[in-house]
Chains A and B, each alone.
Chain A
Amino acid sequence: MNVLLDHLADFREGFIGTVLLTLASGLLAMILGVVIAGFRVSPVPPLRMFGTAWVTLFRNTPLTLLFLIAWFVVPVIFVPGLSPWTKALLALGFYTSAFVCEAVRSGINTVPMGQAEAARSLGMSFSQTLRLIILPQATRSVIAPLSSIFIALTKNSAIAGAFSVTELFGVQKLLSDKGFPIAWIFLWVALGYLVVTFSISGLFRLLERRLGVAR
C-alpha cells in the first residue's frame, strides 16, 4: 500500500503517459491501417504489392526491433531530430497498423458479395463502393477485433519505457530498482493497465451495441 501512496506522482505520470501514447499511436494505426487495407484490395497491382509488403514486414518483426529502427536507423536514413515520444509513436503506430489493416481487410470480406455487386450495377466506382457501401458495413464486424488490437497496443506501449518515454512500466522498474517488494508494485501497475484495457473493451462493446444493426 505504501508503495502506491508514497509514489503516487510517479504512478500518475506513468499512467497518463501510457494512456496518451496508446491514444496517439492508436489513431495513427487506424488511419494507416484503413489506407493500407484500401491498397490491399485495390485494382492497381503496385498498391497491392505495397500493402502486402507493409503487412508482412510489420507483422513479422518484433516490436522491439521496430523501436531500435526508429531510434538508430530512421534518424540516419530519413528524418533526424524526432523526439523520443514521436519515435515511440511511429514504432507502435506502424506495427499496429499492420494488424488493423488485416482486421479491416477481413472485415471487408465479411460484407456479402451481393452488396458490392449491387453497388457496381448502380454505377459506383471502386472508391465509391468502398467508401459508401463496404467500409460502413465492414466497420461493424471489425469492431471486435479492433478492440483486442487496441488492448494489445496498450500493453505493447510498455516497450517504450525502455526508450526514454515515461509510462507505467518505467515506474515499475524504477521502484523495483529502488528495492520495493516486486509483488506490490506488480499489482498496482497491473491494476493501472487493467483500468485502461477494461475501458477500451467497454468502449468497444458500447460501440458494437450502437452499430449492431440486424442485417
Chain B
Amino acid sequence: MKLRMAASAAVLTTLALALTACGGDSGNAGDQTTGDGTGKNAPKLPTYSVATGVKIDSSTLKRAQQAGKLVIGAKNDQPFLGFEDTTGKRSGFDIEIAKMVAADLGFKPEQIEFKTVDSNVRETTISKGEVDLYVGTYTINDERKKQVGFAGPYFQAGADLLVRKDENGITGADSLKGKTVCSIKGSTPLQEIKKPKYGAKTIELSKYSECVQQLLNNEVDAVTTDDAILKGYAAQRPTKLKVVGKPFTQEPYGVGMNKDDKALRDAVNDALEKHEKNGDYKKAYEATLGLSGSAYPEPPAVNRY
C-alpha cells in the first residue's frame, strides 16, 4: 500500500516535471552561464563568406555534400574555446575555426552539425568517421597521426597549470612533487606530468570541467592542460582560480579528420591560411579567446604533409 502511494506520487512528480519543462521562463540562469563572453563591449564575431561549387576529390566531403551537412566534432565544456550554453548554442574560438573552414568547404553555419566529442573518444570517433572534421583543442602529435589526419596547426598552446588563487606553493611544473594533479585520460599534458621527474600524483577524469570542480573542492592541487583552456576557466572564476603561466610543453592545435583524406586536409589547410591572412582569424580570436585576457599571438605556420 505504502509502496503504491509512493509510486503514484513519484509518477505524478515525474509527469509534473516533464510538463512544466515546456513552460519554464527563459533567461535568467542562462545569463549566469558565463563563458560565451558576450559582454556589452565585446568584439563582434566575424562572418565568413560561404564558397559555392566546391569540388574536391575527398570521400568525406562528397558524403557530407550528399547529406547536405558537415558533421564537426567539438568540445562543449571549454569556455572561450568550445562551449555550449543551456540553450544548446555553441561558442568559442574552436567553433569559429570550424565555421570558417566549413564556409570554405561550401557549408553555411546552419549546415554544420556539431557533435560533442570528449577527449577520451576522439581517436575512435574520428578514425571511424563518426565526425567529418574535429576541432576541439586537439594537439597534433606523431602518435595520433597514426590514426587521424591533421590540418593546421591553427593555434599554438602549451601545457600549463591551473591552481587556486591562494596557492603559492606551485610555481611551475617543477614544484609539483607530492601534489595531486588532475587531467584528462589520454591527454598530452597528462602523459608529460606522469613522468617520474615531476613526482606528482595524478587523477584522470573524462572532462576538464570536472577537474576544475575537483580543484575548487580542494580535492586536487592543480589542473593541467593547455594554457588556452585553463585561461578560460580562470576567466570564468577570476576570484578563485589563476593560471601559473609557465608552459612546459608545446601543444599545436590541429583540425582532425580521416587519416587518408589528403584532399580534404589540403583544403582545410588552404582555408586556415586564407582566413589567417584576411583577418578573420584575428577577429575571431579577439571575440573569443581574447576575452580571457590573453594577448593575440600570431598563428603558427600551417604544416602540410
Contact = CB atoms under 8 A, between A and B. Distances in A.
Chains A and B touch (C-beta atoms under 8 A apart): yes
B205 interface: yes
Contact of A162 (B147, B186, B206): B206
Q: Classify the interface of chain B: helix, strand, loop or mixed.
A: mixed
Given A72-B210, A80-B219, A179 B121 contact: no
A75 B217 CA distance: 7
A80 to B, nearest CB: 6
A164 B124 contact: no
A177 interface: yes
Interface size class of B (residues with CB under 8 A): 10 to 19
A171 B218 CA distance: 29
Contact of A163 (B146, B205, B217): B205
Interface in B194-219: 203-206, 210, 213-214, 217-219
Contacts of B123: 177-179
A158 to B, nearest CB: 14
Interface in B91-125: 120-121, 123-124
A179 B219 contact: no
A76 interface: yes
Contacts of B213: 72
A54 interface: no
Interface string B135-173: 000000000001100000000000000000000000000
B217 A164 contact: no
A177 B121 contact: yes
Nearest to A60: B10
A177 B120 contact: yes
Interface residues of A, number: 16
Interface in B2-44: none
A173 B127 contact: no
A84 B82 CA distance: 28
A176 interface: yes
A75 B210 CA distance: 13
A176 B124 contact: yes
A81 B218 contact: yes
A92 B97 CA distance: 43
Contacts of A174: 185-186
Given A72-B213, A75-B217, A80-B219, A179 B205 contact: no
Interface in A162-210: 162-164, 173-174, 176-179
Interface of B: 120-121, 123-124, 127, 146-147, 185-186, 203-206, 210, 213-214, 217-219
Which 7 A/B pairs are nearest by Cβ-Cβ distance?
A164-B204, A75-B217, A164-B203, A179-B147, A177-B123, A75-B219, A80-B218
Given A76-B217, A80-B217, A173-B185, 4 more contacts: A71-B205, A75-B214, A177-B120, A177-B186
15 contacts: A71-B210, A72-B210, A75-B217, A76-B217, A80-B219, A81-B218, A162-B205, A163-B205, A164-B203, A164-B204, A164-B205, A174-B185, A174-B186, A177-B124, A179-B146
